[in-house]
Structure 1
């Protein structure tokens, strides 16, 4: 019996749980918990209707370590899959240590009061997990996650070294809303408004948020403006690819999104520090997130495709000189919704979460301690991407990209 506990009940969780239920040979007993049990129940009903599988649901505050520890001990899962908010990572890891259970997440820790996400807090847990004979797998989403696995697959099969790496994240979908984020609004806006950082010359170089824009023609999507920003896989890639001379992350945004975000930032609605309103403290960004459309409600109206991948340049494995490869996935919003009831942004994160969990439960990825995706064999993960809804393709480019 492969019993698993998933924490969190947003769009990513919905996709992950649906895909787990579609693979009962690996996930034979699925449990789902979040702060709002009604959200868990809604996912469980959808899973039952689509797959016939039963999902048990619970209400829990993931930041309450003793209560979460008791719940984990009560359920007795082999693995806890954390699909809650990034600032809940450490409490959930603490509960896993206390209960003696393996851990997986899709995004690294970020303090509530500072828009700065780094791996240092979670890497510091390595010895504690190792001493208990437990495994923690970090960042098993798409970016981070698949983008790191893409890079390591290229290094294993195409390139002896990776000198330059660009990660390109394009959402060509249209949800019909004036302004909405395709994943958690609070996390999305914190990421976008933070200063950009890229790896170059052995260090991170910081530039103002959204200050570098270039156009790129994406396969099956078309030309889009993309902006350089910081993303956490740059930190782990720089650590596990020591030969990297430059690594950058790019994400596409439409003009309307940029206009709305600029206005919201100018009037203070993206602030993450508390303000006093009618005698009570509120965080403007959290209030904004409460009034924006929920990402999990965008599925029925979202049309178009995503295109996410890596462009890597380095010394060819076969000794034929320097080569550049572009490896990417294209995901259709309407296809994702038809299968799981969620749009492609949730799908492209939820499916890799399921695959990472499958890697751990089947023993294809194992170890004692805290691990990043770059440390694992990319081949079995890449195989499951092809067979579980996120097929990838790789092409050699005639020359390195020059943005």
Structure 2
């Protein structure tokens, strides 16, 4: 029996739980917990209506390790899927260690008081998971997640080495709002406003946020401005592709988004240090997140497509010198909403979370310790992407990218 506990009740969780319910042969029981049980209940009701599957729901504070440990022990899952906030990764991992259960997440740990996300804290738990005979899989979303698997698939099937790697994340969707983020506003804005970092010649090079902009013509979306920024998969890719000379991450933003973000930054609304207001301590960014539209409410009005993928250049496996390949996935917002009631940004993260869980539960991916996606065989994961709503394509480019 493959019983699973999902923690978190946002849009990504909704997609993941729906997709789990569509695959009862792998996920025999689904349990869902979050700080707000009503959010879990809403997802469970949708899953019941769409899939005919019952989902048990619970209220839990994911930062309360003893309470979370007790809940895990009460349910007895084979796997805990962490789809809560990155702030809670370490407490959930600790509870899994206490309860003796495998762990999966989609984003690496980020302290609340420092806008810095990196794998160090989770990698440091490798020996403890190994000693307990447990597996922890990090970053099983799209980026990170699928983008890392894309790179390793290219390295297995097309390229002997990867010298240059660019990850391109394009959201061509329009939700009709003046300003809204497509995933958790607090995490999104902290990422976008942080200094950009890219890997070059054995070290990370830091540049001001949103200071490098280039245009790119995306299939099924069209020309978009994309900005170089830091994203956590660069850290693991640089570690697991030792020959990598340059690795960069790019994300598209419209002018209206950039203008709104600039104003919010200038007036102090994206600060993460508490301020006192009418006798209460308030974090400006958390207040902003509370008043912005919730990402899970955007699905009904979002139209358009996403296009996310890797462009990799390196020595070809066929001995024909250096080649460049572009591997990517296009997802339609309206199709994602029709299937799960969520827009494509949630869909493209929630589906890989389900697939990563399936890899672990079926034994296709196994190990003892803490692992990143790059360390696993890409083929079974890539096969499931094609079968479960995220078909991908690959093409050879005539020359390396020049931007």
- Describe how 1:79-94 pairs up with structure 2 within 5 A: 79-94=79-94
1:320 aligns with 2:298: no
The corresponding residue for 1:99 is 99
| Alpha-carbon shift at residue 167 of structure 1 (Å) | 0.0
Give the secondary-structure state (helix, strand or coil) at the position aligned to 1:301.
coil
- TM-score if structure 2 supplies the norm length? 1.00
1:70 maps onto 2:35 in alignment = no
The aligned residue for residue 14 of structure 1 is 14
- State the partner residue of 1:284: 284
1:150 paired to 2:150 = yes
The Cα of 1:223 is off from its aligned counterpart by 0.1
1:226 aligns with 2:226: yes
* Per-residue deviation, 1:143: 0.0
Match of 2:269 in 1: 269
> What CA deviation, in whole Å up to 9, does each residue of 1:11-68 have, x standing for no partner?
0000000000000000010000000000000000000000000000000000000000
- Matched ranges for 1:102-117 at <5 A: 102-117=102-117
Correspondences of 1:301-380 after superposition (within 5 Å): 301-380=301-380
Post-superposition shift, 1:259?
0.3
Q: CA deviation at 1:222?
A: 0.1
Quote the residue 1:242 is aligned against: 242
State yes or no: 1:295 paired with 2:295: yes
- Report the CA distance between 1:377 and its aligned residue: 0.1
CA drift at 1:298: 0.1
Root-mean-square deviation over aligned CA pairs: 0.2
Name the CA distance, whole Å, in 2 between partners of 1:33 and 1:188: 23
Q: Within 1, Cα distance between the matches of 2:132 and 2:300? A: 45
Deviation (angstroms), 1:282? 0.5
1:390 shift after superposition? 0.2
* Separation of aligned partners in 1, 2:17 and 2:152: 27
Distance (Å, rounded) in 2 between the aligned partners of 1:212 and 1:75? 48
Q: What TM-score, normalized by structure 1, do the two folds share?
A: 1.00
Q: Give SS of 2:33's match.
A: strand
Q: Which residue pairs with 2:50 in the alignment?
A: 50
**Are 2:189 and 1:196 equivalent residues in the alignment?**
no
Given the alignment of the two structures, is residue 209 of structure 1 paired with residue 232 of structure 2, yes or no? no
Question: 1:109-148 residue pairs with structure 2 within 5 A?
Answer: 109-148=109-148
- Equivalent residue for 2:382? 382
Question: 1:391 matched to which residue of 2?
Answer: 391
Instruction: Give every structure 1 segment of 4 or more consecutive aligned residues whose post-TM-superposition deviation is greater than 3 Å.
Output: none
In the TM superposition, what is the alpha-carbon distance from 1:266 to its structure 2 partner? 0.4
Counterpart residue number, 1:30: 30
1:2 aligns with 2:2: yes
Secondary structure of the equivalent of 2:270? coil
Match of 2:401 in 1: 401
Aligned with 2:179: secondary structure? coil
For 1:63 and 1:190, locate their aligned partners in 2 and report how far apart those are by CA, in whole Å: 21
Name 1:186's counterpart in structure 2.
186
Q: Provide the secondary structure at the position in 1 that maps to 2:300.
A: helix
Cα offset for 1:244? 0.2
SS in 1 for 2:319: coil
Equivalent residue, structure 2, for 1:160: 160
Deviation at 1:116, TM superposition (A): 0.4
Shift of 1:271: 0.3
What corresponds to 1:251 in structure 2?
A: 251
- 1:40 paired with 2:30, answer no
Task: Give the deviation of 1:205 after TM superposition.
Answer: 0.1
